[in-house]
Every structure is written in structure tokens, then in C-alpha cells.
Amino acid sequence: MDTANARRISQLAVLMTAGLPALAGMLIFRAQPILVAAIQGEPGRLGFLTDLFYNHAGASLLALLAAGCGLAIASFLQLRKVDDAERLATQLALLCAASLLAVAYAALFVLAAALPLYARLTAA
């Protein structure tokens, strides 16, 4: 692979590393009213995971944004490296970490939204 194509791939990796956690945060931000509508009763009696996304939604989104921003900055700093193979390998690892962070955050939100519904279905 020539250097010009490696640079383009590196720049795309930086954009994807920044974009994946931001996209997950945006989706969770838009889906948060579904969680609020699913909860009936006293919000103080919620489990830890549901409480995190219900009472501390802004803080959890800011934590996701900060972690994604840190990964994107680390990926951006890799653009200075001259060795294409080392740069691309490091950026691939950072992109995988950002993907894992986004998917884990979204999966935890789905679980947090499902737990009150499951409790309501099993209580009847």
C-alpha cells in the first residue's frame, strides 16, 4: 500500500474512532424517553443499571463522550507517525476500542430499559 492511501485510511480511522461513540450517545439520548416511560413507581427503588441511565443519564453520556474523545485524540496523534504499519495497527486497535465502547454502552442501555419491563411482566 502506498503512503497516500495509508494516510487516507488513517484519517478515516480517526473519523470513525470519534464518530462511533458519538453516534451511540446520540441514539441513547434520543431513546432515553423510552426508558422514562417504561418506569412506573418510585425511581429510587431501581436497580443500579437502570438508575444509572434514569437518574444519571447526562453524566453517563458525558463519560461516554469523554472516553470517545480520548480515543479520538489518541488516534489523531497517531497521524504523526511515519511508519504506516505501526500507525495503522495502533489506529485499528483504537477503532476497535471505540467500537467496543459504543456497543457496550448501547447494550447496557437496552438492558437497563428491559429490566423494569421484565420486573413488571414477572410481577403479574
pLDDT number for residue 51: 77
Region of residue 41 (phi > 0: left; psi between -120 and 50: alpha; otherwise: beta): left
User: Stretch 98-118: mean pLDDT, rounded?
Assistant: 88
Average confidence (pLDDT) over 69-74: 95
* pLDDT for the residue 15: 94
C-alpha cell at 103: 456497543
Residue 45 scores a pLDDT above 70:
no
Which one-letter amino acid corresponds to residue 100? L
- Tell me the residue range of the domain where 19 lies: 3-118
The CA–CA distances, whole Å, from 6 to 93, 110, 123 equal 16, 37, 57
Please check whether residue 70 lies inside any domain of the structure. yes
Query: Taking residues 27-48, what's their average pLDDT?
Result: 73
Residue 122 and residue 124: Cα distance in Å, rounded? Answer: 6
Does a structural domain hold residue 92?
yes
For the chain, the domain total comes to 1
User: What is the percent of the chain where pLDDT is above 70?
Assistant: 92
Q: Is residue 17 part of a domain?
A: yes
Percent of the chain residues topping a pLDDT of 90: 48
In a domain, 123, yes or no: no
